[in-house]
Each structure stands twice: as C-alpha cells, then as structure tokens.
C-alpha cells in the first residue's frame, strides 16, 4: 500500500479544468519532485494533497484511508511555501512553537521539539530574533523548522527555494537533501527548475497542463523520456 495515493484527481476553478484525472502513488520515504512549466498545476496538486483545497472529482488516500474530505490539520502533513509565511510580530522561537501550542502537547515536549529543529537547521543563535532581522535563507530555514516540529508523515514543499539567490539555492538544496536523508520522511517537492528536480528527486513527476506526462527516476527520465515534451523540458537528447 502506498503512503499517498491520488486516484483520478480532477480540479476545476469556475468551470475551467486545471487538473485532469491525475493518478499517482507515493511510497513512504520517497523524495518525489513535481516539475513542469509555470501554470501546469503543480501548486494546485500540492494544495489538493495537503487538504488546503478539495478536488472536484477523484480521491486522495493516505495509508489506504480516503482523506478526500479530511481537513488539512487532520492529514498529518506539513506544507512549506515559497513565501515563508512567518509571523512578523513573533520571534523565531515563537514562530516555531506556535502551531504546537494549540495542541495538548506538554510544554516540555514543545520546547524539546523546537530545540531539536533549531539544532538540525543551525538556527539556534537566531531563536530570539524576529523575521525582519533574518536573511532570506534564514527565514526559509525557520519555515522548514516550523514544519519539522510538527513531526509530519510527509513534507509538502512548494518552490521553497525560488526566492533565494542562485548560490544560496544550491547550498539549501543540499541541506534539504541531507535533511531528507536524516529524517527519512516523505517529501513532495515542487519546482519549475529541471536541475533542481534532477539533483534532488528519487522520482520525478513531469506535469504539463494538468496532466502527468511521465513518472520516473531522474536517470531513467533523462535516458528514456516518454515524449518530446519531456525530452525538451528535461533537456535530454531526443
Ligand atoms: P503552477 O504551480 O504549476 O505554476 P498552479 O497550480 O498555480 O500552477 O495553476 C494551475 C492553473 O490553475 C493555472 O492556470 C492557474 O491560473 C489556475 N488556478 C490556480 N489556482 C486558481 C484559483 N484559485 N482560481 C482560479 N484559477 C486558478
Ligand atoms: Mg506554483
């Protein structure tokens, strides 16, 4: 049984269909990258998996359970956005603990999780700062930390590095890969950047205009693209 399964997932906005019957199976611990040109439906698909949005047709299952109508909060997944979405009036420490304080979690457990995430992401010296006192890379570390403290069963990352300059993007990419290796938690990573997809993914899902064109390991995608679109997009010989 796969951890996350999409079955004929379709989404329309105001009668216009943007996701057309997507079937997909994601196994526990995979680092799956959704790649495709701007507007192809990457963010929409991720929002449907996260529960921030509902499909118009089809179903989403987690560990074999139909969660199509289950709220985002009850799916056990954590989303990280391109725009960080940190609370500007709170310190880093408060940003990290905020999501946990509304739960019944013991205070010592909250403190422990925040400390552990801060250690993992090298942001311990920043815990008493506010987001405006951080660089872009530091802000994105805090946003990732906020997902880690929730101990999710999967991370959903929507172009998390695209606001960073090229050099930082490369080093943060390596950090994310290391984090994935260390935690072993499933990641679904959205990007429009082919190189990012090829370097990070255990499997790549190529999307085009709301449809899956191909699902394959990076090297297989490069060596055996399913069609001219995939070959052209990934930059493989065709
Ligand atoms: P990507 O993340 O791949 O750039 P999106 O998932 O954001 O693409 O968008 C896919 C398509 O759905 C686009 O044509 C976009 O305009 C449309 N779309 C996304 N969200 C909405 C919405 N809330 N209302 C109407 N159209 C939307
Ligand atoms: Mg997007």
Residue to mutate (ligand 1; options 14, 17, 39, 193; most atoms within 8 A of CB): 39
169 Cα–ligand 1 center, Å: 24
Q: Find the 68 Cα to ligand 2 centroid distance in Å.
A: 21
ipTM score here?
Answer: 0.98
Picking from 163, 84, 96, 156, the residue whose alpha carbon sits closest to that of residue 123 is: 96
CA 237 / ligand 1 centre spacing (Å): 30
Tens digit of pLDDT for each residue in 98-137?
A: 988 777 889 999 999 999 999 999 999 999 999 999 999 9
Protein residue with its CA nearest to atom 24 in ligand 1: 13
Q: What is the reported pTM?
A: 0.95
Question: Residues with Cβ < 8 Å from 176, sequence gap 6 or more?
Answer: 144, 157, 160, 161, 187, 189, 200
The tens digit of pLDDT for each residue in 141-183 reads: 999 999 999 999 999 999 999 888 999 999 999 999 999 999 9
Residues 209, 77: Cα–Cα separation, whole Å: 26
């Amino acid at each position: 049984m796969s951890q996350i399964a999409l079955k004929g997932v379709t989404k329309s906005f105001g009668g216009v269909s943007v996701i057309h019957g997507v079937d997909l199976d994601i196994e526990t611990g995979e680092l799956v990258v959704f790649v495709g040109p701007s507007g192809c439906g990457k963010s929409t698909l991720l929002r449907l998996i996260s529960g921030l949005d509902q499909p118009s047709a089809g179903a989403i299952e987690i560990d074999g359970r139909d969660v199509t109508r289950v709220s985002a909060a009850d799916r056990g997944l954590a989303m990280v956005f391109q725009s960080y979405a940190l609370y500007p009036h709170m310190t880093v420490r408060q940003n990290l603990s905020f999501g946990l304080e509304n739960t019944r979690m013991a205070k010592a457990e909250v403190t422990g999780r925040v400390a552990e995430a801060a250690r993992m992401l090298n942001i311990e010296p920043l815990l008493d700062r506010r987001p405006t006192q951080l660089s872009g890379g530091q802000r994105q570390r805090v946003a990732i930390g906020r997902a880690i403290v929730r101990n999710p069963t999967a991370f959903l990352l929507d172009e998390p590095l695209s606001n960073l300059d090229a050099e930082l993007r490369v080093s943060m990419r390596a950090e994310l890969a290391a984090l994935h290796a260390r935690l072993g938690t499933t990641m679904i990573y959205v990007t429009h950047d082919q190189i990012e997809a090829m370097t990070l993914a255990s499997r790549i899902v190529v999307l085009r205009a709301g449809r899956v064109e191909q699902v394959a390991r990076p090297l297989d995608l490069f060596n055996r693209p399913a069609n001219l679109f995939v070959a052209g997009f990934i930059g493989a010989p065709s």
